[in-house]
Amino acid sequence: MSRDEKRFYRWPTRLDALMDHSFKHGFLYFLSNRSRISRIWRDVVGEKVVAHTNIKSFEMGRLEIDVDGPAYLERYRYSVKEWIKRINVEFGDEMVTEIKLKVGSTKKD
């Protein structure tokens, strides 16, 4: 889409068309994927890993994970590439491009 086409793009005026656009490309799409990541994370890595990790943030393809300590950080960093592949298979799209592990608080609220 050229610059002029973007400038004069006619946005949907009906509510259902606007909601449909948002579910496919906008903020609601972002929210639905953000909520799905926690469920998919549990399915992909398993309960043992979930017990020592916590999802800190998920933005622009980057998933930040807090781990209990340096020993878990060292253990889990070898599995990151496999986790990315499996998460993207579950999403059906290339949603996660990077997983960043950090030592931090994993207390569940």
Domains and CATH numbers, the chain: 13-103 (3.30.300.130)
- Least confident range from 2-6, 53-57, 95-99: namely 2-6
| pLDDT classification of 104: cutoffs 50, 70, 90 | confident
Query: What's the pLDDT tens digit per position in 28-58?
Result: 555 666 667 888 888 999 999 999 998 888 8
pTM above 0.95, yes or no: no
- CA separation for the pair 71, 86 (Å, rounded): 23
Instruction: Look up tokens 């259902």; give the residue.
Output: 16
